[in-house]
Structures are given as C-alpha cells and as structure tokens.
C-alpha cells in the first residue's frame, strides 16, 4: 500500500515532534511543511528534508498527493484551519491539543468530516505513555478495585517571557491559560483513567504573570461512579517545572503516575516491580521538549494502521468531546461561582471566543492565482 502522505501546517516547537515521527515511521511520508514565518518554515524544511511553504494554498497546489494534514497552529486557529483544509482541499486532519477551543467547534468539525468522508485525529499523546497504559490496563482488569479518589497536580513554570513570545499566548480566545494549554492532557486523563466526571467546582487566578487567562486553578470533582477528585494546575511555579502527576486510590490498591509529564509509574501496589518497567526517561529526547514524550509515535502508528487495515484510531469523537466539555466545565464553574454539571450543553463565556485582531495575524492570504 502507498505511504500515507502528510503535511504540517504550523512550525512551532511541537511540530518538530510530528515531523520526526512521520519521517522515521514506515508507511508515512512527510510531503511538505508550512508556516507563515519563512525562517521557521525554511528551518523545518532543511531539518526534515521536505519542501517548505509560507502559504498552505500554494502547498496544496504543489502537492496534490497530500492526504493528511497535521494542524499545529495556535489553539484558537485550529477550527478555522481545520475547516479550510477539509472543506476546500478534502484532506484528513490531525489536530494538536486541545483539538478545538469550544465543544460547538468540535461538533461542527466532525459534522463536516462526516459529510466529506474525512477523518479527524485528535492528539492526546500522554495516553500512550507506558505508565498510563499500564494503569489503564489495571483499571480494565479490576486490579485497583473501585476507584475512590483521583488527584491531579501540575506544577510547572511559565514566566512572562514565555507569554511574550507571541500575541496569542495567554489569551482566552486563542490559548487559554494553565488548564487549557499545559493542563489539557491531565484534564483528559481525569476521564480516561477515572471515568466520566459528573460535577466540578473550580477557582482560577492569575498570579505570576500579566496575561488575560489563568495561571493557576484548583478544583474538586465528583465522578459518576461515586469517586471524588481534586485538580491543581499551575504555571506559576518558580523557577522550573517540578511535577505533572495523577494518582488513583482504589478499594484494592493505589497507582500514582508522576515525573515531569506523567512518564514515571511511581506507585503501583498490585505489582510494585512494574514501576521501573513502565517508566520512561523523556529527558533523553534530544532536541525536543521532554514534556512531549514518545506518545506522538504511538499516535502516528495508529494513524498508519487506520489507513492500512481500517483499525480504529486511539481517540474517538465522543471521547474527545467529553474531554473538551470537561475543560469548559472548569471555566464555567469559575465564571459562575457554583458547582456545575459536566454533561451540560453550556459552554464557557470566555474560552475560545472571537478575536479577529489576533486571528488576522495567523490567517493565510489567498494565493494571487485565486486557486
């Protein structure tokens, strides 16, 4: 079977992770990379031996063989770019976290994909970490018994200079704060490991930087299965990243996954000897952020398998929608000052709104040919 031909739109830091796995994986081919900033696009093109473009309309005109596009642009642009790529060019899409900023966007994007016979592949790579997979297998097998408590702690450092790197950073329309950007994987793991969440109560604050969005959130959760949970996510830790963990206390045992990015199985009472075998050292990932880990490789293997054998992708639409709804529940609770139900169709009044002044900075001009 011919290789799955993939292009990248957006050449920020995590895009290098995508490019390296596409380049090195059998069954995949990196056709081209694109970024509005020519220096970034050129650098990626040189590093990954791919043609580069500053206008994705030109890229598609030059490479009709492209079948899948990874959208690695600012979060608030994911929906606009995804819809353009699907509606105008009929390409499947891979969408970096947090997939889309609003549940209504996710619903609309999947409706378009269905209409056009296209696939959407959300990126939640931490599900593929060895430690996470081992704990999920334990939960499926009942090794921990009934889950009673779930706890998340993310204590990372993002100083003002980080947010000053680009105008979209730290905005509620195009980025979100510590929870939407850095904490989204833990929001996903709250569900993936703990089960469906019924209610949340959250308090957000901005303490260490001058941004629109939050850099700290503390919340409590009530699960459908009767368990209770807590969440603490901040980027106001100084002077470095310290922890990104999730723990589960069950009636038959306990599991805790920690490290810089849920990469270490630190406590596993059903089999303590499994901790070392199911931990990974992300600090050894050369030239890439250790927080990304190796999960993108598993994700791309799943994408290749989907096109080769028809196997289902690792994250389906209902799963992705439930995570984005849980994300919005935290914001809704902070906005209203009350505990909220997660299964509501209501959405945050702040997160993912319109801001054309920022969007215009990341919109791709139409080609002169009108292609």
Residue 144 lies in a domain: yes
220-257 residue pLDDT tens? 999 999 999 999 999 999 999 999 999 999 999 999 99
- Kindly state the helix (H) or strand (E) to which residue 267 belongs, with its residue range: strand 264-268
Residue 52 lies in a domain: yes
Q: Is the pLDDT of residue 24 over 80?
A: yes
Q: What is the pLDDT of residue 1?
A: 60
pLDDT interval class at 282 (50, 70, 90): confident
Q: Is the pLDDT of residue 293 over 90?
A: no
25-35 residue pLDDT tens? 999 999 999 99
pTM, whole model, 2 decimals? 0.96
Q: Which of 268, 290, 312 is the last residue of a domain?
A: 290
Are residue 30 and residue 171 in the same domain, yes or no?
no
Specify the CATH number for the domain of residue 10: 3.40.50.720
Q: For the beta carbon of residue 105, count every other beta carbon within 10 angstroms.
A: 19
Are residue 45 and residue 134 in the same domain, yes or no?
no
Specify the CATH number for the domain of residue 215: 3.30.360.10
Among residues 211, 121, 209, 124, the alpha carbon closest in space to that of 173 is found at 211
294-351 residue pLDDT tens? 889 999 999 999 999 999 999 999 999 999 999 999 999 999 999 999 999 999 999 9
∠ CA 105-108-111, rounded to 5°: 150
- Helix, strand, or coil (residue 33): strand
Residue 329 lies in a domain: no
Domain range spanning residue 42?
4-123+355-362
199-216 residue pLDDT tens? 999 999 999 999 999 999
**318 exposure class (CB count in 10 Å sphere: 0-12, 13-18, 19+):** exposed
Q: Which of 249, 271, 290 is the last residue of a domain?
A: 290
């Amino acid at each position: 079977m011919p290789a799955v031909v993939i292009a990248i739109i957006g050449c920020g830091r995590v895009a290098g992770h995508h490019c390296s796995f596409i380049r090195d994986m059998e069954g995949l081919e990196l056709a081209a990379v694109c970024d509005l900033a020519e220096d970034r696009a050129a650098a990626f093109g040189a590093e990954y031996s791919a043609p580069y473009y500053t206008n994705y309309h030109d890229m598609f005109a030059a490479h009709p063989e492209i079948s899948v596009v990874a959208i690695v642009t600012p979060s608030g642009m994911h929906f606009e770019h995804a819809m353009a790529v699907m509606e105008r060019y009929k390409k499947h899409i891979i969408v970096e976290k947090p997939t889309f900023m609003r549940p209504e966007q996710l619903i609309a994007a999947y409706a378009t994909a269905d209409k056009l016979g296209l696939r959407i592949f959300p990126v939640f790579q931490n599900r593929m970490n060895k430690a996470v997979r081992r704990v999920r297998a334990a939960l499926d097998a009942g090794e921990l018994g009934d889950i009673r408590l779930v706890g998340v702690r993310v204590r990372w450092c993002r100083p003002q200079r980080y947010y000053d790197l680009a105008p979209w950073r730290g905005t509620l329309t195009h980025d979100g704060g510590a929870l939407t950007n850095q904490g989204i994987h833990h929001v996903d793991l709250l569900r993936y490991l703990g089960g469906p969440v019924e209610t949340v109560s959250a308090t957000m604050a901005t303490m260490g930087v001058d941004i629109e969005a939050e850099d700290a959130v503390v919340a409590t959760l009530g699960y459908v299965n009767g368990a209770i949970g807590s969440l603490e996510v901040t980027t106001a830790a100084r002077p470095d990243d310290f922890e990104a963990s999730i723990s589960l206390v069950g009636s038959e045992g306990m599991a805790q996954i920690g490290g810089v990015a849920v990469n270490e199985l630190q406590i596993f009472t059903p089999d303590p000897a499994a901790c070392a075998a199911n931990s990974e050292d992300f600090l050894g990932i050369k030239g890439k952020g250790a927080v990304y880990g190796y999960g993108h490789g598993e994700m791309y293997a799943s994408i290749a398998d989907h096109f080769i054998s028809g196997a289902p992708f690792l994250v389906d639409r209902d799963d992705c929608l439930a995570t984005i709804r849980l994300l919005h529940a935290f914001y809704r609770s902070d906005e209203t000052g009350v505990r909220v139900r997660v299964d509501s169709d209501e959405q945050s009044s702040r997160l993912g709104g319109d801001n054309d002044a920022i969007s215009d900075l990341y919109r791709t001009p139409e080609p002169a040919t009108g292609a």
